[in-house]
Amino acid sequence: MTLTLVHGAETPKLAARSTAEGQISVRDLAVRHGSNPVVFSEVSFHIERGETVALIGANGAGKSTLLKCCLGLMAPANGEVRMSGQPIGGLGTGALRRLRGTVGFVAQKHNLVSRLSVLSNVLHGTLAANPGPGAWLHALASATQRERAMEALERVGLAHLALKRADQLSGGQSQRVAIARALVGGPRFIFADEPAASLDPAAGEEVMQVFVRVARDTRTTLVFTTHNLDHALTYAERVLGLCERRLALDAPANSLQTGGLRDLYN
Amino acid sequence: MTSTTDTTARSGRPLPPRFVRPSISTFLGYLVGLAVLVWSIQGSGWSTTAMLDGVPALMDFLSRAWPPSLTRIETLSQALVQTFQMAIVGTVAGVVLSVPLAILAARGLLAGRIVNGLARAVIAFFRTVPDLVWALIFVIAVGLGPFAGTLAIAVDTAGFCGRFFAEAMEDTDKGPVESLRAQGVRRLDTIFCAVIPAAMPAFITTTLFALEKSTRSSVILGLVGAGGIGLELKVAMDMFDYPTAATVILMVFGLVMLVEQAGSWARGRIIG
Ligand SMILES: Nc1ncnc2c1ncn2[C@@H]1O[C@H](COP(=O)(O)OP(=O)(O)O)[C@@H](O)[C@H]1O
Ligand SMILES: [Mg+2]
């Protein structure tokens, strides 16, 4: 398998802390936007390395907000988030950026740079570890970098489209390229915020399958949000549910049924 | 009566009024505008009689300028080529200068509010001081000749492109930047790998406009001794050598037309 190369970004510093590597610990978390009332509070959970977790809840329940907190893009009003054992509240800008460098992020929109090639877009995923012109465009990249990007594209099954312009892809293909961009840096975590929401059902299934396969192959912790309860139950091992400003659900996926989950939306 | 009312011939239904009575403030606005126009006509020395009296003198100039003289065509051609070279180098230098300025000036891109404001002020200063004034200043700094004109064009272009480049970058989709920032990519990298590629068509069309603008201004800069064919025009006029002046005017017309045509062709290719 291509596992070694995609994992090549592993830094010695991270390996030294390997016990907590890839874990997410959230304790008594409360968040508010500005002076608005809290989005949620008293949220606590622990995710092990390599776990696949779905985060569900109604629109505005705070799913995206929770992901942002884990990335240190928002400061919590209360409580603590630890990523790979590090409390992210205490990190400086540089350390926070290095931590984010261990995360692959996929949003609902693929957010590719439309005028650039697929390969260049994937290379952008290596910029956190290797800043500078070498990863701006594939034409400027080193052979190793290009090879890593091609490995990541192979994982999502799109190596044959490497030189196509990103705006010539279908929605499902674009989202798979976004996954390749999230993978190429060899992340410890993959965060996906409604990754299948703007895709047709078939493309959505395909994208979810790619996520789960890649996360399992590389023992990467995967957290995705979704409004598709089938996706949550099929592709996640564990489901977290936000409802009425609390973490109302934290259970293994195989103990749940879609019917029961609908209560979260009332 | 607030309005005139029409009725359609066929249905007899009233149509919407053609005019609506303006509010007091709109009416006052019109009045002020008219007063400013009348006042300015006085100041500008606008005179229809002077215009009519000038026609014979103009005819005299045209008849003495025709046919254009080809005796100095070689020197003039060299001057024209130099004019175009000044426009090209000045435009390129100006574009190179404007990119960092635009990055600092664009809101929400790299710098904070204060730096945004400072960069905007510099760009506005470059743009609002006329190129002829820049040429006068650079003639003092680097002496008479094309280099002074080239620098004047560069500063003028930086002012023009800086503004439009900054706006083009502000208008790009922020999604790619946000996704990359979430993965720990530095702001500066996101600018070069995501923002500038997205703004590139706007950058190129703006640059082509700047080249057209520079070609026109490089002609004028010669009048203050900053190189190019403008000096030939001034000398010919001062010596009443109207046939040579006519040649220069036609050559300038040809060059500017050529650059504009090439520019709009290239823009069509890029946007299409
Ligand atoms: N930037 C923001 N400023 C103010 N309120 C926000 C902001 N982003 C989200 N919110 C509010 O926070 C709540 C949670 O939003 P979000 O995390 O986007 O929910 P979800 O992703 O579950 O749909 C919503 O009520 C939303 O209106
Ligand atoms: Mg959301």
Q: What is the mean pLDDT of chain B?
A: 90
Q: Is A30 inside a domain boundary?
A: yes
CATH number of domain containing A242: 3.40.50.300
Residue-level pLDDT at A219: 92
pLDDT in tens, B48-66: 888 888 889 888 888 888 8
Q: Which of B183, B196, B200 to mutate to test the interface with A (most CBs of A within 10 A)?
A: B183
Among A41-50, B201-210, B223-232, the range scoring the smallest mean pLDDT is: B223-232
Residue B74 has pLDDT above 70, yes or no: yes
Q: B222: which DSSP letter?
A: G
Residue A254 carries which side chain, given as an amino acid letter? Answer: N
- Measured in angstroms, the CA of B265 and the nearest CA of chain A are apart by 21
3-state secondary structure of A118: helix
pLDDT at residue B2, as a whole number: 45
Q: Which residue has the higher pLDDT, B25 or A16?
A: B25
Tell me, yes or no, whether A32 lies in a domain. Answer: yes
A141 within some domain: no
Contact A106, A225 (CB under 8 A): no
Q: Domain segments of chain B: what residues?
A: 75-271
Residue A73 is part of which domain span?
Answer: 1-14+21-95+231-266
Domain count for chain A, please give it: 1
Q: What average pLDDT score do residues A83-95 get?
A: 93
Give yes or no for a contact between B144 and B123, defined as CB atoms under 8 angstroms apart.
no
Ligand 1 atom nearest to CA at A58 = 22
Considering the segment(s) B75-271 as one domain, its CATH architecture is Orthogonal Bundle (1.10)
In a domain, A49, yes or no: yes
Q: Which pTM does this prediction carry? A: 0.84
Beta bridge partners of A241: A56, A249
Through-space distance between the first and last CA atoms of chain B, rounded to whole angstroms: 52
CA atoms within 13 A on the CB side of B168: 24
Q: Which residue of A has its CA nearest to B201?
A: A115
Cis upstream peptide for A195 (omega within 30°): no
- Rounded to whole angstroms, how far apart are CA atoms B175 and A234? 29
* A185–B194 C-beta distance less than 8 A: no
Q: Determine the average pLDDT of the residues in A60-69.
A: 95
CA-closest residue to ligand 1 atom 2: A33
Q: Which of the 8 DSSP states describes residue A124?
A: G
Of residues A260, A237, A236, the one with CA closest to residue A248: A260
State the residue for tokens 């190429």.
A184
Of the candidates B127, B128, B135, B126, the one whose C-alpha atom is nearest the C-alpha of residue B223 is B135
Q: Tokens 């066929």 sit at which residue?
A: B10
State the pLDDT at residue A2.
Answer: 36
CB-based contact B198 A131, cutoff 8 Å? no
pLDDT 10s digits, B98-122: 999 999 999 999 999 999 999 999 9
Ligand 1 binding pocket, CB closer than 6 Å: A 33-34, 36, 39, 57, 59-65
Domain assignment present for A169: no
Per-residue confidence at B4, pLDDT binned at 50, 70, 90?
Answer: low
Alpha-carbon gap, residue A166 to A174, rounded angstroms: 7
Which residue in B has a C-alpha nearest to residue A124's C-alpha?
B193
Query: Under DSSP, is residue A225 helix (H, G, I), strand (E, B) or coil?
Result: strand
* Buried-state track B63-72, b at ≥16 Cβ within 10 A, e below 16: eebeebbeeb
The pLDDT-based confidence of A202 (bands split at 50, 70, 90) is very high
Q: Give the pLDDT confidence of B113-163 residue by residue, as tens digits.
A: 999 999 999 999 999 999 999 999 999 999 898 999 999 999 999 999 999
What is the pLDDT at residue A265?
A: 82
pLDDT at B24 over 90: no
